[in-house]
A and B are shown apart, each in its own frame.
Chain A
């Protein structure tokens, strides 16, 4: 069965601190996709990144970086020099492939609070 675990329910940091959000997944598929979404208080889920199971390269986008390690089934997300606007709920999600269903398996989410 597929499963995504975000063990950190809530994290609170002070602005400018670095913070890492953990994501551990389980799947029997050899081909799969991992995603991170951000949900600010307004409610809309904002797509941040997609990574397929064959691409273990880490990725950096501005203050955001992602560390994908198949050996530990983890896809962790780091925010460098956090800002108040980063306060949101962050979801990690898994999708099997090939798939025409688009079904996402979400983790329970991590609420990040960045204090000024």
Chain B
């Protein structure tokens, strides 16, 4: 199984709502990532989890709260978002590498619209 799944595919939320994005992989990868991608731009790294511990937070606002409950699951909790947070949110996974940089496998993304 070389698939990363993400739910939901589309999400529309108001600025006062609380919602969560979910990502799952069963490739045995121990590194998982959240990216944000605006239209016609490359993905921007938000968070990295390595062995279920947060290893990178790219100065992301606290209205985005990641969680890694186990080695297969990654969540992104959303609260009090702004319209400019509307984007495609991509999850990825890979084997962590100390001496190599391993390829990341991406999910199909969640297209988020904040009204």
Contact = CB atoms under 8 A, between A and B. Distances in A.
A98 B99 contact: yes
A45 B103 contact: no
A66 interface: no
Interface in B28-55: 31, 33, 40-43, 45, 48, 50, 55
A61 to B, nearest CB: 14
B101 interface: yes
Interface in A100-116: 100-104, 106-109
Interface stretch (A14-22, A46-54, A78-86): A46-54
Nearest to A44: B108
Nearest to B108: A44
B42 A97 contact: no
Contact of A102 (B31, B40, B90): B31
B42 A91 contact: yes
A98 B98 contact: yes
B74 interface: no
B101 A45 contact: no
Interface string B83-115: 000001010101011111111111111010000
B11 interface: no
Contact of B102 (A46, A102, A107): A102
Interface in A22-69: 32-33, 35, 37, 42-47, 50, 52
Contacts of A103: 45, 48, 56
B104 A98 contact: no
Contacts of A100: 50, 55, 96-98
15 contacts: A33-B100, A43-B108, A47-B105, A47-B106, A50-B101, A52-B100, A97-B99, A100-B50, A100-B55, A101-B50, A102-B48, A102-B50, A102-B94, A102-B101, A103-B56
Interface of B: 31, 33, 40-43, 45, 48, 50, 55-56, 88, 90, 92, 94, 96-109, 111
